[in-house]
């Protein structure tokens, strides 16, 4: 397709902007779409950008990584897109019945077998511990932190997230805990150290596994923490408590039921589970679940965000657990990502010396901006969900108080028991 035709098609789409404005600068010419705030400015450096933008988020990210266009504030640009994406959603929803058979077939062909899961996880988490250590805090927590009070450091907020989980599960010294998705071992070490419980945690990332082993050794917790290199589907035994922090997104939409069924099997009749998950709006789930987006092709291969409705249905159909408590942490992820993005940018030269070239860094900058904007405009959300087995009984009538961070729109994160 010629650049002129592609530019005309994209321009027609941009003319539908109803909230905010987009300023496009190309070869000295300026075009404005929409009006008012929020506003974002894009400078297009190469005409081939337009045809590649027709492939959606993948084209947007790839052309940014290749420096075919620039924007002084990519977060503002993606927030503007999120505010107007309902126009595109309507078109995609109409096409869903036509696309559904193809998406279903594609999903069946790309099932998350154990081998594929290891490959997909390695493609992100085995990029090198140095990469993540330059972006994250010392806990190496790669999930939403909780900023309970003004002035908290990222490390303090990560530890606050761990503490919140421990309190909701009422972890005690006698508990046997299983964690699905070790990360770099931050939660396992924190729970064992502060509660004295025994933790079995599993990952399929070799780099995470080896790093977590070293953290456990340094903390002197070898007798309390066991690190496995094993697929969650192969876990055996029974545990009092189960924790899974932002791992469900890697399960694949075909396997959400399998995931919850396995979690339920691993728990004793008195057990409880804490799930922390990135979710997508129920209304967008069926459109997005099998789409080939920037995130699930370049960042998290094979990933899929569940919706709260999908979580609830999977729990009801495949387990005997009940949903006991739900907390919305979405505004906290906006701040978490802002901190990660700042760390990443501040260490750009160090990352380049380690072999992460400019194209890679720009791709990851777009990833962090893309997610930050998605949470800011609630295109995606962050939830902590407490689930209990039939004989689970809390020792307390109240949960820890919520200290939410205001969202950009001035909303407060909701927290409270179900029912």
| CA nearest neighbour of 363 among 62, 43, 126 | 62
| CA nearest neighbour of 268 among 240, 244, 242 | 240
CA pair distance 405, 402, nearest whole angstrom = 9
- Residue 183 and residue 214 in contact, taking contact as beta carbons nearer than 8 Å: no
CB atoms near residue 16 (< 10 Å): 11
CA pair distance 77, 57, nearest whole angstrom = 12
List all residues 6 or more positions away from 4 whose beta carbon is below 8 Å from its beta carbon.
none
Instruction: Please state whether beta strands 380-388 and 69-70 pair in parallel, antiparallel, or not at all (unpaired).
Output: unpaired
- Residue 382 and residue 332 in contact, taking contact as beta carbons nearer than 8 Å: yes
Q: Which one from 197, 304, 369, 371 is the annotated catalytic residue?
A: 371
Q: Tell me the backbone φ, ψ of residue 225, rounded to 5 degrees.
A: -120, 125
Is 371 assigned a catalytic role? yes
- Give the per-residue SS3 of 80-147: HHHHHHHHHHHHHHHHHHHHHHHHHHHHHHCCCCHHHHHHHHHHHHCCCHHHHHCCCCCCCCCCCCCC
Q: How many CA atoms lie within 13 A of 266 on its CB side?
A: 25
- Residue 164 and residue 400 in contact, taking contact as beta carbons nearer than 8 Å: yes
- Residue 283 and residue 308 in contact, taking contact as beta carbons nearer than 8 Å: no
- Residue 344 and residue 358 in contact, taking contact as beta carbons nearer than 8 Å: no
CA pair distance 419, 401, nearest whole angstrom = 17
Q: Which residues are the active-site residues?
A: 371
């Amino acid at each position: 397709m010629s650049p002129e035709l592609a530019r005309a098609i994209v321009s027609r789409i941009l003319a539908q902007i109803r909230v905010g404005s987009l300023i496009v600068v190309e070869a000295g010419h300026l075009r404005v779409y929409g009006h008012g705030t929020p506003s974002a400015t894009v400078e297009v450096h190469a005409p081939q950008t337009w045809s590649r933008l027709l492939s959606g988020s993948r084209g947007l990210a790839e052309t940014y990584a290749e420096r075919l266009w620039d924007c002084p504030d990519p977060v503002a640009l993606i927030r503007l897109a999120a505010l107007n994406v309902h126009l595109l959603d309507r078109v995609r929803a109409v096409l869903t019945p036509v696309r559904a058979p193809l998406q279903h077939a594609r999903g069946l062909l790309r099932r998350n077998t154990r081998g594929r899961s290891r490959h997909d996880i390695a493609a992100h988490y085995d990029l090198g511990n140095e990469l993540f250590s330059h972006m994250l805090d010392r806990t190496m927590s790669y999930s939403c932190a909780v900023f309970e009070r003004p002035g908290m450091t990222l490390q303090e907020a990560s530890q606050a997230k761990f503490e919140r989980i421990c309190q909701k599960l009422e972890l005690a010294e006698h508990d046997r805990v299983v964690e699905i998705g070790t990360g770099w071992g931050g939660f396992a070490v924190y729970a064992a150290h502060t509660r004295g419980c025994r933790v079995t945690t599993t990952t399929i990332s070799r780099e995470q596994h080896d790093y977590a082993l070293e953290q456990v050794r340094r903390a002197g917790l070898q007798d309390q923490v066991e690190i496995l290199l094993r697929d969650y589907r192969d876990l055996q035994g029974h545990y009092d408590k189960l924790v899974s922090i932002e791992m469900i997104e890697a399960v694949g939409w075909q396997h959400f039921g399998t995931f919850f069924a396995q979690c339920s099997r691993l728990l004793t009749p008195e057990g409880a589970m804490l799930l922390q998950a990135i979710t997508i709006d129920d209304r967008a789930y069926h459109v997005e679940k099998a789409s080939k987006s920037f995130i699930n092709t370049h960042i998290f291969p094979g990933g899929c965000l569940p919706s709260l409705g999908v979580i609830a249905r999977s729990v009801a159909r495949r387990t005997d657990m009940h949903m006991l408590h739900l907390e919305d942490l979405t505004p906290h992820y906006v701040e978490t990502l802002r901190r990660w993005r700042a760390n990443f940018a501040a260490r750009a030269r160090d990352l380049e010396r380690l072999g992460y070239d400019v194209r890679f860094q720009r791709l990851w900058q777009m990833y962090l901006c893309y997610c930050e904007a998605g949470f800011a405009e609630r295109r995606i959300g962050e939830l902590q969900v407490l689930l209990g087995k039939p004989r689970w009984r809390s020792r307390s009538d109240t949960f820890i108080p919520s200290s939410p961070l205001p969202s950009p729109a001035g909303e407060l994160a909701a927290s409270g028991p179900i029912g």
